[in-house]
A and B are shown apart, each in its own frame.
Chain A
Amino acid sequence: MEKRLHLPPERIDRARELARRIVAPVQEFIEAHTTVTVERATLRLAGADGADADGVPVPNLVVDQLRDRLEEGALKYWVNALLRTGEGVAGLNRRVAEGLRVSDLPLADPIALEGKAAELVSACTRRVRGNRSLREERLARYAGKNHAPLLYVIVATGNIHEDVKQARAAAEQGADVVAVIRTTAQSLLDYVPYGATTEGFGGTYATQENFRIMRAALDEVVEKQGRYVYLTNYASGLCMPEIAAMGALERLDMMLNDSMYGILFRDINMYRTFVDQKFSRMINAWAGVIINTGEDNYLTTSDAVEKAYTVLASQFLNERFAFAAGLEPWQMGLGHAFEMDPTIRNGFLLELSQALMAREIFPEAPLKYMPPTKFMTGDIFRGVVQNALFNFVSQMTGQGIHLLGMLTEAIHTPFMQDRFLALENAKYVMNNMADLGDEVEFRKDGVIVKRAQAVLEETVAFLEKIDATGLMPAIEQGLFADIKRPRDMGKGLEGLRKKADGYWNPFETHLQRELGL
């Protein structure tokens, strides 16, 4: 796309350089640590699954048995148990659920452990590669059938079987992406529930079985409609890497995954989140998943005009963390949102400027554009107009992933008809003005160009300040979203471990090699 905002390239380079410098020391910390959920994700990739009679998942049972030996890597004890019991993966899952203590078994010869682990890694790799190539094959077969930007809707009934009906309907109406919203409590659970679920609040539990059910239902629509439908869930909260692992196994296509969202907006400990996001992103990268980052949250908490620079700064940091985890630019659905106060004179110009700025600075990223929510009032008629303007900006600026605004935002989770009306709105606006963006140039001294340049400058200044302070102290001081998060506070800190010298994780090693890290 032609550059129309005349953004100085050296300032964009400076911002990237600063992001690299800001993230580097955090990466060092990450490399030296693991967490309970990183270990459980590793076990899941190896095949650990199921739950005991109380519903405690098998990966949790194993990790809880190990306590201070966790720092050696949980997989060793799992692989050892396979060798010692002579069970297959399914048999071992059953026995652990029945009370087998893998921590009590004498350790086998390291070479035997290596050999068995290599088998598990290659079995998992076959499955994940198979998922990846199936997706690629379908996308190639149905090339050109998806909308650009991809039209993204959410389902949130709480019951996976009801979600399936809603998701199918949306996909048949033209949705390209279906996200199953999680129940509000799940991000703070330090385990992933097991099995199909039919109760949730404001959403449905992310479980591997629910992933499988929804994937199968959408695949039917894919074949019927001759159009690929992307399935999305949330690799966020206290179980980022485990959800990523489940998504890799069940062919999810997108994952919400932000490097700092959990810290700022869920009060999850920063050490924990930094370590978790890295491993979860490595799994996403390996599985060919597109991540969606959560910059929209900065704007629902703070003013979208004044704090626009925090969005761009976070995009630079998310990009850097993503590169460090092996993600490629086409996998980086960097987030932003249409959240300015609709009563602002020329607010539309500022929104257009912000969206185009993101497009020009991250030309290869499939930007994730979020709809108005904060200033949706319950006036559904005005809501339709707000969403139409949002659709207009998205199309004109070539966004990648377009989360459809609902006219009933601020009233209830979407009805089936709300999604239909949103899809009709987007299809109308986006088709009717398809190539307008290519027809228009902006005045060099006009509002749109000047605004983008000013936001970029503010962003560089902000990143300079973060660089001088250090990322972790900056978070402690409340430089992001005015939220202060001390490094030794927040949820999940007790699940952090310094890796022992002999830390053993063949899946991590395999991913590092595959991703060239």
Chain B
Amino acid sequence: MTTIVRPYGDTLDDGAVQLSFTLPVPFGPRGREAARLFVEKLGFRHAEIVHAAPLSEGFSFYVAYGRTETSIDVDTIHVEEATGEKLYSMNEACEVIRARLGRKLVVVGACTGFDAHTVGIDAIMNMKGYNHHYGLERYQEVEAHNLGAQVPNEKLIDYAVKVNADAILVSQIVTQKDVHIRNLTELIELLEARGLRERFVVCAGGTRISNKLAVELGYDAGFGQGTYAEHVATFLIERLGVKHPGVRS
């Protein structure tokens, strides 16, 4: 099976795309034409600069439309998300934990390194949750420890050992020059050095994190935009079932 698609404006296969960008050139007819040619060079036909504005002496801003012939066969695409189609609701997750684990699932979470932005880990862990999805603290069968922001990787591991955690969740929101990658890598290296990597299910989350990236870095899973506690809980339950033979799955 092949299903070839192009972006859709108002007619199938019209390939319509909108773009906006800044060029480091002064505002004016030359800048505008440069922007149009740039969009054509990207492979768009009918490139149109619909709006241009000066930003500063040497910078100008453009909104552009173009049509592309480029297509994609969606049937050839393979996606590896941490969770499949089936998501446990909060109550279902708790029932499954009761049935399979027979005790509370212990989860330790933190925003590590120098990152001070707890909005991600809070969305997953805090009682209130995010966008009407309760966080793990609300789950009766989850013992959730949210250590907050700027937690050193060492301290996070020590804490996870202390409370005998099943899972470690790490959030990285603000990043520049890929510091989040270094920081995430360091956690895995520390766990391995201490012989603890297999003891925990370790997950990374954040706006720049994908499951693919996290798995490459040695995590069990990664969670990006649009993740709620249900996604994380579902993954943890499924993964614990695989990891610990004693746990019935």
Residues in A lying within 8 Å of B, measured CB to CB: 158, 165, 168-169, 172-173, 183-185, 187-188, 199-202, 265-267, 300-303, 341, 343, 373-375, 377-378, 410-411, 413, 415-417, 420, 483
CB-based contact A201/B177 at 8 Å: yes
Interface of A is mostly: loop
Q: Are A417 and B61 in contact (CB under 8 A)?
A: yes
Q: B22 contacts which chain A residues (CB < 8 A)? A: 415-417
What are 8 A-B interface contacts by the 8 Å CB criterion?
A158-B177, A168-B56, A172-B57, A187-B116, A202-B174, A267-B150, A343-B132, A378-B225
Complex contact B179–A201 (CB within 8 A): yes
Q: Is the CB of A416 within 8 A of B207?
A: no
- Interface members, chain B 143-166 (any A CB < 8 Å): 148-150
- Selected from A184, A267, A411, the residue in CB contact (under 8 A) with B207 is A411
Say if the beta carbon of B37 comes within 8 Å of chain A: no
Chain B residues, Cβ within 8 Å of A377? 225
Q: Which residues of B contact A303 (CB under 8 A)?
A: 128
Q: Which of B56, B175, B177 contacts A169 (CB 8 A)?
A: B56
Say yes or no: B116 contacts A420, CB within 8 Å: no
Q: How long is the Cα–Cα vector from A300 to B223 in the complex, in angstroms?
A: 21
Q: Which residues of chain A are within 8 angstroms of B116 by Cβ–Cβ distance?
A: 184, 187, 265-266
Among B55, B61, B119, the most chain A Cβ lie within 10 Å of the Cβ of B55
Query: How many interface residues does chain B have, given as a range?
Result: 20 to 34
B56 x A201 contact (CB < 8 A): no
Bound-state Cα–Cα, A416 to B175, Å: 18
Residue of A nearest to B53 (CB): A420
Tell me the complex Cα distance, A413–B56, Å: 19
Mark B residues whose CB is within 8 Å of A: 20-22, 53, 55-57, 59, 61, 114-116, 118-119, 122, 128, 131-132, 148-150, 174-177, 179, 207, 225
Q: Is the CB of B56 within 8 A of A301?
A: no
Q: Measured between alpha carbons, how far is A63 from B122 in the docked complex, in Å?
A: 39
A184 cross-chain contacts in B, Cβ below 8 A: 114-116, 174
Q: Is the interface of B mostly helix, strand, loop or mixed?
A: loop
Residues of A within 8 A of B55 (CB): 169, 173, 416-417, 420
**Which residues on the B side are within 8 Å of A373 (C-beta)?**
119
Taken together as a complex, chains A and B put the C-alpha atoms of A158 and B179 apart, in Å, by: 13
Task: Determine the distance from Cα of A199 to Cα of B174 in the docked complex, in whole angstroms.
Answer: 15
A residues near B176, Cβ cutoff 8 Å: 158, 200-202, 413
Which residues of the other chain, B, contact A415 by a CB distance below 8 angstroms? 22
Closest to A377 in B: B225
In the complex, the answer to whether B122 meets A201 with C-beta atoms within 8 Å is no
Measured between beta carbons, the chain B residues less than 8 angstroms from A201 are 114, 174-177, 179
What is the distance, in angstroms, from A221's C-beta to the closest C-beta of chain B? Answer: 10
Bound-state Cα–Cα, A411 to B177, Å: 14
**Contacts of B115 on A, CB cut-off 8 Å?**
184
A199 and chain B: residue at smallest CB distance: B177
Q: Is the CB of A301 within 8 A of B122?
A: yes
Bound together, the chains give a CA A430 to CA B55 distance in angstroms of: 20
Given contacts A202-B174, A417-B21, A417-B61, contact A266 B150 (CB under 8 A): yes
| Chain A nearest Cβ from B62, distance in angstroms | 9
What CA separation (Å) do A202 and B113 show in the bound complex? 13
State whether A301 touches B225 (Cβ < 8 A).
Answer: no
B191 to chain A, nearest CB (A): 23
List, in ascending order, chain A residues with CB within 8 A of B57's CB.
Answer: 172
Q: How far is the CA of A201 from the CA of B57 in the complex (A)?
A: 27
Nearest 3 interchain pairs by C-beta = A169-B56, A185-B114, A202-B174
